[in-house]
Amino acid sequence: MTGTNNERGYIVAIGGAENKLRHPGILRRFVELCGGRDGRIVVIPTASQLKDTGDDYRRLFLDLGAGDVEIESIRSRSDCARTDTLSRFEHADGVFFTGGDQRRLGRLIGPTPLAEFLIDLNAKGLHIAGTSAGAAFLSARMIIGGKGGTMPRAGMVHLTDGLGLLSNVIIDQHFRQRNRFGRLLAALSDHPELLGLGVDEDTAAFIGPRDEFQVEGSGAVTVVDTSQLELGKRASQSESSPLSMIDLKVHILAREASYDLSARCATI
Amino acid sequence: MTGTNNERGYIVAIGGAENKLRHPGILRRFVELCGGRDGRIVVIPTASQLKDTGDDYRRLFLDLGAGDVEIESIRSRSDCARTDTLSRFEHADGVFFTGGDQRRLGRLIGPTPLAEFLIDLNAKGLHIAGTSAGAAFLSARMIIGGKGGTMPRAGMVHLTDGLGLLSNVIIDQHFRQRNRFGRLLAALSDHPELLGLGVDEDTAAFIGPRDEFQVEGSGAVTVVDTSQLELGKRASQSESSPLSMIDLKVHILAREASYDLSARCATI
């Protein structure tokens, strides 16, 4: 694999609906990151229920110049414990989680030997990307459902455990397109220790080995930093009663902007 | 009028669709502010094209205990220059702008002798409230249209001059219900010197004489403070290309929270 300098591999969170034909900048950058002609990418289409999803990405990555692309259809938790499954990731340069339903990823791959192996390989240089459900799955806690809307309401979001590559963030996808600012705030009001990343469609955060990410694509990544947050109490007992949230810091980052996840600092 | 202590009157921005029957807390507080049984309220239904709007509010305010309620249907700019029109506001304790279309308010009342007179009377103690279009109209710059959406896009918002009671804020209404976070940010990206107030339906900011407001009602007031804002350049020439906005400060304020507009400081 390409990452021979003992640095962590990139973690790439794509907001879904990435451009695949005319301007496939995000997918092309991922292929290049994985070494292009010398690179080997494994696609995990487990989130999707459509039978062509894996093949579609395989063809796309080959068209974009990847040397070798394999599909690893994880269909059960026991698949994730089999030595032959794990061995197929051993010499990969990149892993790509497709979109679909992130609950399937949580249920089938959640905390399994494969999940641990991927975290370990990423630490040694394997690049791991996910789009839509695949992006949500990258972090330790992930959003599995909730309503759209500008502002947070109680009960508008549900969380569960993700893959765990990133322990300090929570990622929401299709962010602008599905008006998910409110549900990300609702998630953060329960987990103010996390940093919220709302990734638009056709947009990606390329999180490098030093925990700094650059934005790629046609939309923006919205960062919600609750480190200064002061939370009010609900004015009434009603669950739908709004919650005061004071001192949220928000950054909207378009292409060419970057963000340091450790220092919590944005640069244009 | 009630304001005999030479303090500015309250300025009350209501996000529209305030509860009028079972829990009319916002309208009741306005009536009490205006002196209840001793109070005289003038309703300006100019924003509305519906012929009953003025009468409906008249009945509501009387039911809530107002001593006297009159309707002043401004139908032309020349109405706003007539001495008999102005004289009807001279002994009012409160003025209430109904909802409708804020462009009508801008066009008919905009910078006229009546507008100047109201600003002057407010400075001497007259309370002025507006709901929906009437709330947008209170500030010096007002939003007159734009698309909904969580995140800002170029051209998603159009501004014009408002009444001018508040020179340092811009108010958007039906905020949560119509997903207007994006359009408020778009307005602020052009006017980062202003403070953005997004007022939910059935929610009001009661802005007192010392420029501090309390939140009333069942929703929240979202404050967007761009005083630290750093703006990026558009990554492409395209108008729809997103804009990086760094260091937005956001507060979501529910009932019992308050905010000091001068110090830009929130308290729960």
Helix or strand run (H / E) with residue B185:
helix B181-190
Tell me which residue of A201, A239, A154, A150 sits closest to B224, measured CA to CA.
A150
Q: What is the pLDDT of residue B145?
A: 77
Q: Is residue B6 part of a domain?
A: no
- A52-81 tens-digit pLDDT: 999 999 999 999 999 999 999 999 999 999
- B135-194 tens-digit pLDDT: 999 999 999 877 777 667 766 778 899 999 999 999 999 998 888 888 899 899 889 999
Q: Rounded to 10 degrees, what is the CA torsion of B254, B133, B42, B120?
A: 90
Active site residue A201: yes
Q: What is the pLDDT of residue B238?
A: 61
| Distance (Å) of CA A30 to CA A60, A94, B57 | 12, 8, 61
Q: Is residue B1 part of a domain?
A: no
Answer yes or no: do B245 and A252 touch at CB < 8 A.
yes
d(CA B7, CA B193): 26
Domain count, chain B: 1
Q: What is the pLDDT of residue A121?
A: 98
Answer yes or no: do A176 and B243 touch at CB < 8 A.
no
Q: What is the mean pLDDT of each run of 10 residues along chain B (268 residues)?
A: 74 97 96 97 96 96 97 95 96 97 94 96 98 96 79 76 95 90 88 95 97 95 94 64 89 94 94
Q: What is the pLDDT of residue A190?
A: 86
- pTM of the model as a whole: 0.90
Residue of A nearest to B218 (CA): A241
Q: Is residue A88 part of a domain?
A: yes
Here the CATH number for the domain that contains residue B252 is: 3.40.50.880
Q: Is residue A191 part of a domain?
A: yes
Of B179, B242, B252, the CB nearest to A254: B242
Q: What is the mean pLDDT of chain A?
A: 92
Answer yes or no: do A256 and B244 touch at CB < 8 A.
yes
What residue numbers bound the domain in which A218 lies? 11-267
Which segments in chain A show pLDDT lower than 70? 1-5, 150-151, 154-155, 233-240
Q: Is residue A3 part of a domain?
A: no
Q: φ and ψ at B230, to 5 degrees?
A: -120, 130
Q: What is the pLDDT of residue A4?
A: 55
d(CA B16, CA A22): 44
How many CB pairs below 8 A link A and B?
137
d(CA A12, CA A127): 8
Q: What is the pLDDT of residue A242?
A: 79
Q: Is residue B108 part of a domain?
A: yes
CA distance B191 to chain A (A): 17
**ipTM here:** 0.88
Q: What is the pLDDT of residue B6?
A: 80
Answer yes or no: do A242 and B200 touch at CB < 8 A.
yes
Q: Is residue A6 part of a domain?
A: no
Of B151, B249, B256, the CB nearest to A176: B151
Q: Is residue A5 part of a domain?
A: no
Of A234, A244, A268, the CB nearest to B252: A244
Active site residue A132: yes
